[in-house]
Amino acid sequence: MGTKLKQFLQDSETKAFDLEHRRKIRFNIGKYNAAVQNGMMAYQHHELARERASFLKTQTINNLDKYLVEFENNFTKRGGKVIWAQNAEEALREIGAIMKRKRAKSVVKSKSMSTEEIHLNDFLEKNGIETVETDLGEYIVQLAGQRPYHIVTPAMHMSKKDISELFTAKLGIPLTDDAQQLVLTARNLLREKYTQAEVGISGANFLIADIGGIAVTENEGNARLSTTFPKTHIAVVGIEKLIPSMVDLDLFWPLLSTSGTGQNVTIYNTILTGPRQPTEKDGPEEMYVILLDNGRTNLLAQPEQREALNCIRCGACLNVCPVYKNIGGHTYETTYSGPIGSVITPHLAGFEENKHLSFASSLCGACTSVCPVKINLHNLLLLNRKQSVDEGLVDKNEKLAFKFWAKGMQNRRLLNIVPASLKNYVFRHVQKDSWSVRREPLEAAPKSFNEMWRKERPKKS
Protein backbone atom coordinates (compact mmCIF):
# COMPACT_ATOMS: atom_id res chain seq x y z
CA MET A 1 0.00 0.00 0.00
CA GLY A 2 1.44 3.38 -1.06
CA THR A 3 2.19 6.17 1.39
CA LYS A 4 -0.42 8.48 -0.11
CA LEU A 5 -3.10 5.80 0.05
CA LYS A 6 -2.34 5.03 3.70
CA GLN A 7 -2.56 8.72 4.58
CA PHE A 8 -5.78 9.08 2.58
CA LEU A 9 -7.45 6.19 4.40
CA GLN A 10 -6.30 7.47 7.77
CA ASP A 11 -7.49 11.04 7.11
CA SER A 12 -10.79 9.78 5.65
CA GLU A 13 -11.45 7.78 8.80
CA THR A 14 -10.73 10.80 10.98
CA LYS A 15 -12.83 13.30 9.03
CA ALA A 16 -15.77 11.00 8.37
CA PHE A 17 -16.33 10.67 12.14
CA ASP A 18 -15.59 14.31 13.00
CA LEU A 19 -19.11 15.52 13.72
CA GLU A 20 -18.11 19.18 14.05
CA HIS A 21 -16.42 19.13 10.65
CA ARG A 22 -19.48 17.54 9.08
CA ARG A 23 -21.74 20.14 10.68
CA LYS A 24 -19.71 23.02 9.21
CA ILE A 25 -19.59 21.48 5.74
CA ARG A 26 -23.30 20.63 5.74
CA PHE A 27 -24.08 24.19 6.77
CA ASN A 28 -21.82 25.88 4.20
CA ILE A 29 -22.57 23.57 1.28
CA GLY A 30 -26.27 23.70 2.17
CA LYS A 31 -26.22 27.48 1.67
CA TYR A 32 -24.56 27.07 -1.71
CA ASN A 33 -26.97 24.38 -2.85
CA ALA A 34 -29.96 26.54 -1.91
CA ALA A 35 -28.47 29.53 -3.76
CA VAL A 36 -27.74 27.40 -6.84
CA GLN A 37 -31.29 26.11 -6.88
CA ASN A 38 -32.59 29.69 -6.88
CA GLY A 39 -30.03 30.76 -9.47
CA MET A 40 -31.15 28.06 -11.89
CA MET A 41 -34.57 29.70 -12.05
CA ALA A 42 -33.00 32.49 -14.15
CA TYR A 43 -32.47 29.97 -16.95
CA GLN A 44 -35.27 29.21 -19.34
CA HIS A 45 -33.31 26.39 -20.99
CA HIS A 46 -30.47 25.43 -18.67
CA GLU A 47 -29.96 22.06 -20.34
CA LEU A 48 -29.53 23.78 -23.71
CA ALA A 49 -26.88 26.06 -22.19
CA ARG A 50 -25.05 23.00 -20.86
CA GLU A 51 -25.22 21.31 -24.25
CA ARG A 52 -23.78 24.37 -25.99
CA ALA A 53 -21.02 24.80 -23.43
CA SER A 54 -20.09 21.14 -23.67
CA PHE A 55 -19.97 21.27 -27.47
CA LEU A 56 -17.94 24.47 -27.52
CA LYS A 57 -15.37 23.29 -24.98
CA THR A 58 -15.02 19.92 -26.70
CA GLN A 59 -14.40 21.59 -30.05
CA THR A 60 -11.83 23.88 -28.44
CA ILE A 61 -9.96 21.09 -26.66
CA ASN A 62 -9.89 19.04 -29.86
CA ASN A 63 -8.27 22.02 -31.63
CA LEU A 64 -6.19 23.25 -28.72
CA ASP A 65 -3.01 23.71 -30.76
CA LYS A 66 -4.74 26.10 -33.16
CA TYR A 67 -6.37 28.22 -30.45
CA LEU A 68 -3.23 28.44 -28.31
CA VAL A 69 -1.24 29.87 -31.20
CA GLU A 70 -4.09 32.26 -32.01
CA PHE A 71 -4.14 33.44 -28.40
CA GLU A 72 -0.37 33.97 -28.35
CA ASN A 73 -0.39 35.96 -31.61
CA ASN A 74 -3.17 38.26 -30.48
CA PHE A 75 -1.81 38.74 -26.95
CA THR A 76 1.72 39.62 -28.08
CA LYS A 77 0.38 42.17 -30.59
CA ARG A 78 -0.54 44.42 -27.64
CA GLY A 79 2.81 44.04 -25.93
CA GLY A 80 2.03 41.02 -23.77
CA LYS A 81 4.57 38.23 -23.32
CA VAL A 82 3.71 34.52 -23.44
CA ILE A 83 5.77 31.85 -21.69
CA TRP A 84 5.14 28.16 -22.42
CA ALA A 85 5.75 25.97 -19.36
CA GLN A 86 5.81 22.22 -19.84
CA ASN A 87 5.80 21.51 -16.11
CA ALA A 88 5.84 23.17 -12.69
CA GLU A 89 9.64 23.39 -12.65
CA GLU A 90 9.73 25.39 -15.90
CA ALA A 91 6.96 27.71 -14.69
CA LEU A 92 8.73 28.38 -11.39
CA ARG A 93 12.05 28.96 -13.12
CA GLU A 94 10.52 31.55 -15.45
CA ILE A 95 8.70 33.29 -12.60
CA GLY A 96 11.91 33.32 -10.58
CA ALA A 97 13.74 34.95 -13.49
CA ILE A 98 11.09 37.69 -13.74
CA MET A 99 11.31 38.32 -9.99
CA LYS A 100 15.08 38.63 -10.22
CA ARG A 101 14.90 41.10 -13.11
CA LYS A 102 12.34 43.20 -11.25
CA ARG A 103 14.22 42.91 -7.94
CA ALA A 104 10.89 42.02 -6.41
CA LYS A 105 10.60 41.80 -2.65
CA SER A 106 6.85 41.41 -2.34
CA VAL A 107 4.04 39.88 -4.38
CA VAL A 108 0.26 40.15 -4.15
CA LYS A 109 -1.73 37.20 -5.47
CA SER A 110 -5.35 36.87 -6.40
CA LYS A 111 -7.03 33.47 -6.05
CA SER A 112 -5.45 30.99 -8.46
CA MET A 113 -5.63 27.20 -8.37
CA SER A 114 -2.91 26.91 -11.03
CA THR A 115 -0.41 28.64 -8.72
CA GLU A 116 -1.45 26.26 -5.95
CA GLU A 117 -0.78 23.43 -8.38
CA ILE A 118 2.86 24.47 -8.90
CA HIS A 119 3.35 25.41 -5.19
CA LEU A 120 4.28 28.97 -6.11
CA ASN A 121 3.98 30.44 -2.61
CA ASP A 122 6.54 28.01 -1.19
CA PHE A 123 8.91 28.76 -4.07
CA LEU A 124 8.68 32.53 -3.62
CA GLU A 125 9.09 32.36 0.16
CA LYS A 126 12.19 30.17 -0.21
CA ASN A 127 13.59 32.90 -2.44
CA GLY A 128 12.95 35.60 0.17
CA ILE A 129 9.91 37.14 -1.51
CA GLU A 130 6.90 38.00 0.66
CA THR A 131 3.74 36.57 -0.88
CA VAL A 132 0.30 37.67 0.25
CA GLU A 133 -2.96 36.06 -0.82
CA THR A 134 -5.55 38.79 -1.34
CA ASP A 135 -8.71 36.70 -1.74
CA LEU A 136 -10.24 36.58 1.74
CA GLY A 137 -10.65 32.80 1.79
CA GLU A 138 -7.13 32.25 0.45
CA TYR A 139 -5.76 34.78 2.95
CA ILE A 140 -7.44 32.89 5.80
CA VAL A 141 -5.99 29.49 4.81
CA GLN A 142 -2.59 31.11 4.21
CA LEU A 143 -2.64 32.49 7.76
CA ALA A 144 -3.64 29.03 9.00
CA GLY A 145 -0.80 27.38 7.05
CA GLN A 146 -3.23 25.23 5.09
CA ARG A 147 -4.03 24.52 1.46
CA PRO A 148 -7.41 25.59 0.00
CA TYR A 149 -10.23 23.30 1.08
CA HIS A 150 -12.50 23.92 -1.92
CA ILE A 151 -11.98 25.13 -5.51
CA VAL A 152 -14.35 28.10 -5.08
CA THR A 153 -14.43 28.58 -1.30
CA PRO A 154 -10.94 27.97 0.11
CA ALA A 155 -11.96 28.37 3.77
CA MET A 156 -15.28 26.49 3.60
CA HIS A 157 -14.21 24.22 6.47
CA MET A 158 -13.85 27.10 8.93
CA SER A 159 -16.60 28.71 10.97
CA LYS A 160 -16.79 32.39 11.91
CA LYS A 161 -15.52 31.40 15.37
CA ASP A 162 -12.54 29.58 13.86
CA ILE A 163 -11.62 32.60 11.74
CA SER A 164 -11.97 34.99 14.68
CA GLU A 165 -9.65 32.84 16.79
CA LEU A 166 -7.16 32.64 13.91
CA PHE A 167 -7.15 36.43 13.45
CA THR A 168 -6.69 36.89 17.19
CA ALA A 169 -3.72 34.52 17.22
CA LYS A 170 -2.07 35.78 14.03
CA LEU A 171 -3.12 39.44 13.80
CA GLY A 172 -3.63 40.33 17.44
CA ILE A 173 -7.21 41.61 17.17
CA PRO A 174 -9.81 41.03 19.92
CA LEU A 175 -12.15 38.07 19.51
CA THR A 176 -15.34 39.03 17.66
CA ASP A 177 -18.37 37.33 16.16
CA ASP A 178 -18.92 40.26 13.79
CA ALA A 179 -18.17 38.97 10.27
CA GLN A 180 -17.99 42.51 8.89
CA GLN A 181 -15.30 43.41 11.40
CA LEU A 182 -13.25 40.38 10.36
CA VAL A 183 -13.54 41.39 6.69
CA LEU A 184 -12.54 44.98 7.46
CA THR A 185 -9.49 43.77 9.39
CA ALA A 186 -8.28 41.79 6.38
CA ARG A 187 -9.13 44.61 3.99
CA ASN A 188 -7.15 47.21 5.93
CA LEU A 189 -4.10 44.97 6.06
CA LEU A 190 -4.27 44.04 2.38
CA ARG A 191 -4.78 47.53 0.97
CA GLU A 192 -1.27 48.52 1.98
CA LYS A 193 0.17 45.38 0.38
CA TYR A 194 -1.30 46.25 -3.04
CA THR A 195 0.57 49.54 -3.24
CA GLN A 196 3.86 48.09 -2.01
CA ALA A 197 4.11 44.99 -4.18
CA GLU A 198 6.32 45.05 -7.26
CA VAL A 199 4.54 42.10 -8.88
CA GLY A 200 0.91 40.95 -9.00
CA ILE A 201 0.10 37.32 -9.79
CA SER A 202 -3.24 35.91 -10.88
CA GLY A 203 -4.77 32.96 -12.61
CA ALA A 204 -7.53 33.23 -15.20
CA ASN A 205 -10.92 31.65 -15.60
CA PHE A 206 -10.71 31.79 -19.38
CA LEU A 207 -8.15 32.45 -22.12
CA ILE A 208 -9.84 34.21 -25.03
CA ALA A 209 -8.24 33.31 -28.36
CA ASP A 210 -9.70 35.89 -30.74
CA ILE A 211 -8.71 38.96 -28.71
CA GLY A 212 -5.66 37.56 -26.94
CA GLY A 213 -7.03 38.24 -23.48
CA ILE A 214 -7.67 36.60 -20.13
CA ALA A 215 -10.99 36.73 -18.31
CA VAL A 216 -11.06 36.86 -14.52
CA THR A 217 -14.22 36.45 -12.48
CA GLU A 218 -14.43 37.30 -8.77
CA ASN A 219 -16.62 38.68 -5.99
CA GLU A 220 -14.20 40.84 -4.00
CA GLY A 221 -12.24 43.03 -6.42
CA ASN A 222 -8.93 41.68 -5.14
CA ALA A 223 -7.93 40.41 -8.59
CA ARG A 224 -8.43 43.86 -10.12
CA LEU A 225 -6.25 45.42 -7.45
CA SER A 226 -3.59 42.71 -7.76
CA THR A 227 -3.38 43.18 -11.52
CA THR A 228 -3.57 46.99 -11.56
CA PHE A 229 -1.32 48.44 -8.82
CA PRO A 230 1.90 46.44 -9.32
CA LYS A 231 4.06 47.35 -12.31
CA THR A 232 4.29 43.71 -13.42
CA HIS A 233 1.43 41.25 -13.80
CA ILE A 234 1.97 37.51 -14.23
CA ALA A 235 -0.98 35.25 -15.04
CA VAL A 236 -0.44 31.50 -14.61
CA VAL A 237 -3.09 29.67 -16.63
CA GLY A 238 -3.68 26.05 -17.59
CA ILE A 239 -3.72 25.53 -21.36
CA GLU A 240 -7.22 24.02 -21.19
CA LYS A 241 -8.82 27.33 -20.12
CA LEU A 242 -9.22 28.45 -23.74
CA ILE A 243 -12.44 29.58 -25.37
CA PRO A 244 -12.52 30.70 -29.02
CA SER A 245 -14.14 34.12 -28.76
CA MET A 246 -15.02 36.92 -26.37
CA VAL A 247 -18.71 36.47 -27.24
CA ASP A 248 -18.53 32.99 -25.70
CA LEU A 249 -18.29 34.64 -22.28
CA ASP A 250 -21.99 35.37 -22.66
CA LEU A 251 -22.49 31.62 -22.22
CA PHE A 252 -19.67 30.72 -19.83
CA TRP A 253 -19.73 33.54 -17.28
CA PRO A 254 -23.34 32.88 -16.15
CA LEU A 255 -22.83 29.10 -16.20
CA LEU A 256 -19.72 29.41 -14.05
CA SER A 257 -21.29 31.68 -11.46
CA THR A 258 -24.69 29.98 -11.28
CA SER A 259 -23.24 26.48 -10.99
CA GLY A 260 -20.66 27.53 -8.39
CA THR A 261 -22.38 30.08 -6.16
CA GLY A 262 -25.94 30.51 -7.48
CA GLN A 263 -25.29 34.05 -8.73
CA ASN A 264 -26.58 35.14 -12.13
CA VAL A 265 -23.12 36.60 -12.67
CA THR A 266 -20.26 37.33 -10.27
CA ILE A 267 -19.73 40.89 -9.03
CA TYR A 268 -16.48 41.60 -10.87
CA ASN A 269 -15.75 40.28 -14.35
CA THR A 270 -12.59 41.58 -15.99
CA ILE A 271 -10.93 41.08 -19.36
CA LEU A 272 -7.21 41.85 -19.55
CA THR A 273 -5.54 42.05 -22.96
CA GLY A 274 -1.99 43.02 -22.13
CA PRO A 275 0.05 45.71 -20.37
CA ARG A 276 -1.05 49.34 -20.06
CA GLN A 277 -1.37 51.02 -23.45
CA PRO A 278 -0.21 54.63 -24.14
CA THR A 279 -3.77 55.95 -23.91
CA GLU A 280 -4.63 54.06 -20.71
CA LYS A 281 -4.34 55.53 -17.20
CA ASP A 282 -3.76 52.40 -15.15
CA GLY A 283 -2.55 48.85 -15.40
CA PRO A 284 0.85 47.12 -15.29
CA GLU A 285 3.82 48.15 -17.38
CA GLU A 286 4.48 44.50 -18.22
CA MET A 287 2.16 41.52 -18.46
CA TYR A 288 3.12 37.88 -18.80
CA VAL A 289 0.86 34.88 -19.40
CA ILE A 290 2.41 31.55 -18.48
CA LEU A 291 0.65 28.78 -20.39
CA LEU A 292 0.91 25.78 -18.08
CA ASP A 293 0.85 22.21 -19.35
CA ASN A 294 1.94 20.23 -16.26
CA GLY A 295 0.41 16.95 -17.39
CA ARG A 296 -2.57 18.31 -19.32
CA THR A 297 -1.25 16.99 -22.63
CA ASN A 298 -1.12 13.52 -21.03
CA LEU A 299 -4.88 13.80 -20.71
CA LEU A 300 -5.25 15.41 -24.13
CA ALA A 301 -3.56 12.38 -25.70
CA GLN A 302 -6.38 10.10 -24.50
CA PRO A 303 -9.51 10.62 -26.64
CA GLU A 304 -11.83 8.82 -24.21
CA GLN A 305 -10.71 10.85 -21.19
CA ARG A 306 -9.78 14.26 -22.55
CA GLU A 307 -13.26 15.65 -21.90
CA ALA A 308 -12.04 16.21 -18.32
CA LEU A 309 -10.15 19.20 -19.76
CA ASN A 310 -13.54 20.85 -20.44
CA CYS A 311 -13.80 21.70 -16.73
CA ILE A 312 -14.37 25.39 -15.93
CA ARG A 313 -13.62 24.96 -12.17
CA CYS A 314 -17.05 25.95 -10.88
CA GLY A 315 -16.91 23.54 -7.92
CA ALA A 316 -20.45 22.23 -8.46
CA CYS A 317 -19.35 18.59 -8.45
CA LEU A 318 -17.73 19.02 -5.02
CA ASN A 319 -20.91 20.46 -3.52
CA VAL A 320 -23.04 17.44 -4.45
CA CYS A 321 -20.49 14.68 -3.88
CA PRO A 322 -21.37 12.50 -0.85
CA VAL A 323 -17.74 11.40 -0.50
CA TYR A 324 -16.36 14.95 -0.54
CA LYS A 325 -18.95 16.09 2.02
CA ASN A 326 -17.89 13.31 4.39
CA ILE A 327 -14.10 13.23 4.07
CA GLY A 328 -13.46 16.92 3.27
CA GLY A 329 -11.23 18.69 0.80
CA HIS A 330 -7.92 18.39 2.65
CA THR A 331 -8.10 14.59 2.79
CA TYR A 332 -7.41 14.36 -0.95
CA GLU A 333 -3.96 15.97 -0.42
CA THR A 334 -4.17 17.43 -3.93
CA THR A 335 -4.73 20.84 -5.49
CA TYR A 336 -8.03 19.76 -7.01
CA SER A 337 -10.30 17.75 -4.73
CA GLY A 338 -13.70 16.12 -5.12
CA PRO A 339 -14.84 14.31 -8.28
CA ILE A 340 -12.98 16.49 -10.79
CA GLY A 341 -9.81 16.26 -8.70
CA SER A 342 -10.12 12.48 -8.56
CA VAL A 343 -10.41 12.41 -12.35
CA ILE A 344 -7.60 14.77 -13.36
CA THR A 345 -5.01 14.41 -10.56
CA PRO A 346 -3.72 10.96 -11.64
CA HIS A 347 -3.09 12.37 -15.13
CA LEU A 348 -1.46 15.58 -13.84
CA ALA A 349 0.56 14.13 -10.97
CA GLY A 350 1.01 10.45 -11.84
CA PHE A 351 -1.18 7.35 -11.59
CA GLU A 352 1.03 5.31 -9.31
CA GLU A 353 0.68 7.66 -6.32
CA ASN A 354 -2.81 9.02 -7.08
CA LYS A 355 -4.82 6.18 -8.59
CA HIS A 356 -6.61 5.59 -5.27
CA LEU A 357 -8.53 8.86 -5.74
CA SER A 358 -10.48 7.38 -8.65
CA PHE A 359 -11.63 4.56 -6.37
CA ALA A 360 -12.82 7.01 -3.68
CA SER A 361 -16.25 7.40 -5.24
CA SER A 362 -19.69 5.86 -4.92
CA LEU A 363 -20.23 6.35 -8.68
CA CYS A 364 -23.66 7.79 -7.86
CA GLY A 365 -23.40 10.18 -10.83
CA ALA A 366 -24.48 13.30 -8.92
CA CYS A 367 -21.33 15.08 -10.15
CA THR A 368 -22.17 14.37 -13.78
CA SER A 369 -25.73 15.60 -13.33
CA VAL A 370 -24.67 19.08 -12.15
CA CYS A 371 -21.59 19.71 -14.32
CA PRO A 372 -22.29 22.84 -16.42
CA VAL A 373 -20.22 21.49 -19.32
CA LYS A 374 -21.66 17.96 -19.01
CA ILE A 375 -18.42 16.13 -18.24
CA ASN A 376 -19.24 12.45 -17.76
CA LEU A 377 -17.34 12.39 -14.48
CA HIS A 378 -18.45 9.04 -13.07
CA ASN A 379 -17.56 7.32 -16.34
CA LEU A 380 -14.14 8.98 -16.34
CA LEU A 381 -13.55 7.63 -12.84
CA LEU A 382 -14.22 4.14 -14.19
CA LEU A 383 -11.83 4.74 -17.11
CA ASN A 384 -9.15 5.86 -14.65
CA ARG A 385 -9.67 2.63 -12.69
CA LYS A 386 -9.33 0.64 -15.89
CA GLN A 387 -6.16 2.51 -16.82
CA SER A 388 -4.58 1.79 -13.43
CA VAL A 389 -5.28 -1.93 -13.95
CA ASP A 390 -4.03 -1.87 -17.55
CA GLU A 391 -0.79 -0.24 -16.38
CA GLY A 392 -0.29 -2.92 -13.74
CA LEU A 393 -0.65 -0.52 -10.81
CA VAL A 394 -2.75 -2.92 -8.76
CA ASP A 395 -1.83 -4.37 -5.38
CA LYS A 396 -0.55 -7.97 -5.54
CA ASN A 397 -3.13 -9.20 -3.03
CA GLU A 398 -5.90 -7.61 -5.06
CA LYS A 399 -4.63 -9.31 -8.22
CA LEU A 400 -4.54 -12.65 -6.42
CA ALA A 401 -8.04 -12.21 -4.99
CA PHE A 402 -9.54 -11.43 -8.39
CA LYS A 403 -7.66 -14.34 -9.96
CA PHE A 404 -9.27 -16.79 -7.54
CA TRP A 405 -12.65 -15.08 -7.88
CA ALA A 406 -12.50 -15.36 -11.69
CA LYS A 407 -11.61 -19.04 -11.50
CA GLY A 408 -14.50 -19.68 -9.15
CA MET A 409 -16.98 -17.75 -11.30
CA GLN A 410 -15.87 -19.67 -14.39
CA ASN A 411 -16.07 -23.09 -12.72
CA ARG A 412 -19.30 -23.74 -10.89
CA ARG A 413 -18.27 -27.19 -9.69
CA LEU A 414 -15.03 -25.86 -8.18
CA LEU A 415 -16.97 -23.17 -6.32
CA ASN A 416 -19.40 -25.74 -4.91
CA ILE A 417 -16.59 -28.05 -3.75
CA VAL A 418 -15.13 -25.35 -1.46
CA PRO A 419 -17.04 -25.53 1.88
CA ALA A 420 -18.73 -22.43 3.30
CA SER A 421 -16.42 -22.48 6.34
CA LEU A 422 -13.34 -22.11 4.11
CA LYS A 423 -15.03 -19.38 2.05
CA ASN A 424 -15.83 -17.45 5.22
CA TYR A 425 -12.26 -17.83 6.47
CA VAL A 426 -11.02 -16.20 3.24
CA PHE A 427 -13.73 -13.50 3.44
CA ARG A 428 -12.74 -12.58 6.99
CA HIS A 429 -9.09 -12.25 6.02
CA VAL A 430 -9.84 -10.15 2.93
CA GLN A 431 -12.30 -7.83 4.71
CA LYS A 432 -10.53 -7.32 8.04
CA ASP A 433 -8.90 -3.98 7.13
CA SER A 434 -11.70 -2.66 4.94
CA TRP A 435 -15.35 -3.71 5.05
CA SER A 436 -15.26 -5.32 8.49
CA VAL A 437 -13.75 -2.30 10.23
CA ARG A 438 -17.21 -0.70 10.53
CA ARG A 439 -19.57 -3.52 9.47
CA GLU A 440 -20.39 -7.14 10.14
CA PRO A 441 -18.24 -9.29 7.83
CA LEU A 442 -19.84 -10.66 4.70
CA GLU A 443 -20.43 -14.39 4.90
CA ALA A 444 -21.09 -17.10 2.36
CA ALA A 445 -24.38 -18.96 2.67
CA PRO A 446 -24.16 -22.59 3.88
CA LYS A 447 -25.35 -23.64 0.45
CA SER A 448 -25.08 -21.71 -2.80
CA PHE A 449 -28.14 -20.83 -4.87
CA ASN A 450 -26.91 -23.28 -7.49
CA GLU A 451 -26.87 -26.12 -4.96
CA MET A 452 -30.34 -25.25 -3.64
CA TRP A 453 -31.73 -25.03 -7.18
CA ARG A 454 -30.39 -28.47 -8.05
CA LYS A 455 -31.88 -29.89 -4.85
CA GLU A 456 -35.31 -28.32 -5.40
CA ARG A 457 -35.41 -29.12 -9.10
CA PRO A 458 -33.62 -32.42 -9.64
CA LYS A 459 -33.03 -33.47 -13.23
CA LYS A 460 -35.78 -35.70 -14.64
CA SER A 461 -34.64 -39.21 -15.38
- pLDDT value at position 400? 84
The domain spans of the chain are 43-294, 396-456
Is pLDDT at 223 greater than 60 in this prediction? yes
Global pTM?
Answer: 0.91
pLDDT value at 232 more than 80: yes
Q: Is 119 helix (H, G, I), strand (E, B) or coil?
A: coil
Query: Rounded CA gap, 208 and 67, in Å?
Result: 9
Q: Are 356 and 4 in contact (CB under 8 A)?
A: yes
Beta bridge partners of 206: 215
Is-contact 246 293, C-beta < 8 A?
Answer: no
Total residues belonging to the chain: 461
Q: What is the mean pLDDT of residues 422-435?
A: 84
Mean pLDDT calculated for residue range 306-323: 96
Instruction: Of 50, 45, 46, 39, give the one whose Cα is nearest residue 262.
Output: 39
Pairing, β 199-202 against β 130-133? unpaired
pLDDT at 461: 45
Average pLDDT score over residue span 221-244? 96
Digit-coded pLDDT (tens) for 338-367: 999 999 999 999 999 999 999 999 999 999
Whole-angstrom distance, CA of residue 384 vs CA of residue 382: 5
- In angstroms, the first-to-last Cα distance of the chain is 55
Tens of pLDDT, residues 3-41: 899 999 999 999 999 999 999 999 999 999 999 999 999
| Cα–Cα distance measured from residue 159 to residue 21, given in angstroms and rounded to the nearest whole number | 10
Which range has the worst mean pLDDT, 88-102, 382-396, 417-431?
417-431
DSSP-derived secondary structure for 89-103: HHHHHHHHHHHHHHT
Per CATH, is 43-294 categorized as 3.40.50.10420?
Answer: yes
Q: What angle do CA 41, 46, 50 make, to 5 degrees?
A: 145
Residue type, 172: G
Sign of the CA dihedral with 148 first, then 150, 153, and 155 last: negative
Interval 308-333 mean pLDDT: 96
In this structure, is the dihedral angle defined by the CA atoms of residues 180, 182, 184 and 186, taken in order, positive or negative?
Answer: negative
CB 158 within 8 A of CB 171: no
What would the DSSP string read from start to end of 280-347? Answer: -SSS-SEEEEEEE-TTHHHHHT-TTTGGGGG-----HHHHH-HHHHHH-SGGG-SSS-HHHHHHHHHH
- Give residue 460's pLDDT: 57
Look at residues 176, 248, 177, 174 and name the one whose alpha carbon lies nearest to residue 207: 248
Q: In this predicted structure, what is the pLDDT of residue 431?
A: 83
Helix (H, G, I), strand (E, B) or coil at 270: strand
d(CA 16, CA 26): 13
Question: Which residue from 147, 139, 145, 231 is spatially nearest to 190, judged by alpha carbons?
Answer: 139
Q: What mean pLDDT do residues 136-145 have? A: 96
For residues 48-71, average pLDDT: 98
